[in-house]
Structures are given as structure tokens and as C-alpha cells.
Amino acid sequence: MSEFLFPTRPTTSIPVKGESAAFPINRIFCVGRNYAAHAVEMGGVPEYGSPFYFTKAPTHAIPSGSETPYPLGTENYHHEMEFSILIGKDTFRVSENEAMDAVYGYCASLDMTRRDLQAHSKDKRQPWDTAKDFEDGAVFAEAIKAADFGAIGGQRITLAVNGEMRQDATLADLIHSVPKVIADLSKYYQLSAGDVIMTGTPAGVGAVVAGDHLHGEITGLAPVELRVGQPL
């Protein structure tokens, strides 16, 4: 059937430097606690075994430069600056040595979080869905192709709120490397072109309020920006 009962949402996408066509978002996977200092600041212990994951709906993604209303149901809305991987081909059960062949490119991104709801979920040992997967909860800047970005290593990752530095680390601080994350995730999912993997946030996460301006940078990538508007 080609007809639907209701209007369908347009495909969310990420612009790519030098390309007229955009990268269509298929799924959004997120790596939890992938920087040791962030794990500690959240009251946890760094885990060096296997990564763990949660997801966000592609319909909840918005482009850098957007303004989003302060979200519903929270009094503790947090920023998390992240390095995101764009998957460019179908990938299943690959080794770490094979994993980088799947990468199309990278971009700077924000994983916005309703921290009080996350804390409640942790206390109840419940999923994080309401804390992580909500409207405008993922923000993506323009991407760059992997070949143009080069090797991942000491690139600086920072986030400032109203010009005040909040997060400052390097990609070398990732607990689980990009090839390890791709290889591990491909054991549980048949990764597809269009999938996005947000690789976790450094220490320094904190609350934002209506009127705040967020500006995140990763060396070699376009910056990601967000303005927080008034609640609905």
C-alpha cells in the first residue's frame, strides 16, 4: 500500500560538508558513560569491559542552530556534548579491524537530557526513555566525511553555555574507541547506512535554562549550537 491514514513525518537528516544531498537518519544509538570523569561525576564507576547503549528516535533530532522550548516534565535539563559517528553501509558482526570501513563521517552533536527523570529511573532501575528520548533531544551539526577528518585521537571536544566553558576534554579520553563501539554494536544490531552513533559525553554536564545559548566544538568539525526557549 502506498497511502497512509495520517500524514507522515519528513525524514530527519544531517547536512554534509561539500554535498548537496544530506545524510538521512535511520536510527540513533547512544553510548553511555564513555568518559571516565563523566562516569564519576554521575556517581558511577568507569566500566572498561563492554559499552552499554540507549537510543533516541530519529524524529527527535533537530539541526544545529535551532531553538527548542524548555522541555516538558523536567526541572533539571542538562547538556551533553558528543562526537557522533555516521554509518555509511550495512554492517553486521564486524571485527574492530573491519569496523572503520562502515564509517561515512562524523559530526558534533548534543545529547540533551532530563536529568531528574534519569535519576528517578536509575533509583527505580527503570529504562531511561523519558530522560533521553524526547522532542528535540538530539542536535546535530554539519557532518564531514571520514577521509576529510582523519585519524581520531587528540581532537578537543568542548561546550560553552553563554560563553562560559562547561565541558573540555579530548577524543583520546574515550573509554571505548570508535572501532570498538561499532564492532560491539554490530553484534546486537544489523547496522545500516543512515545509522548514527553518539559516543558519549565528557565531564562537566550541567543544567541549562530558558534563554541559554549552547555552543559546542570538536577540532576539525563544524560547531553545534542550540538556544533554549521558553517552556510550552
pLDDT in tens, 81-120: 999 999 999 999 999 999 999 999 999 999 999 999 999 9
The pLDDT mean for the chain works out to 96
- How many CB atoms are closer than 10 A to CB 214? 22
Burial class (CB in 10 A: 0-12, 13-18, 19+), 15: middle
- How many CB atoms are closer than 10 A to CB 121? 17
What single-letter DSSP state applies at residue 100?
G
Contact by Cβ (8 Å): 29, 55: yes
Give the span between the Cα atoms of 146 and 113, in whole angstroms: 28
pLDDT in tens, 1-45: 579 999 999 999 999 999 999 999 999 999 999 999 898 887 888
- Whole-model pTM: value is 0.96
Give the span between the Cα atoms of 88 and 202, in whole angstroms: 26
Domains by residue range for the chain, with CATH:
13-229 (3.90.850.10)
**CA 195 from centre of chain:** 12
Closest CA to 223 of 31, 81, 34: 81
How many residues appear in the chain?
232
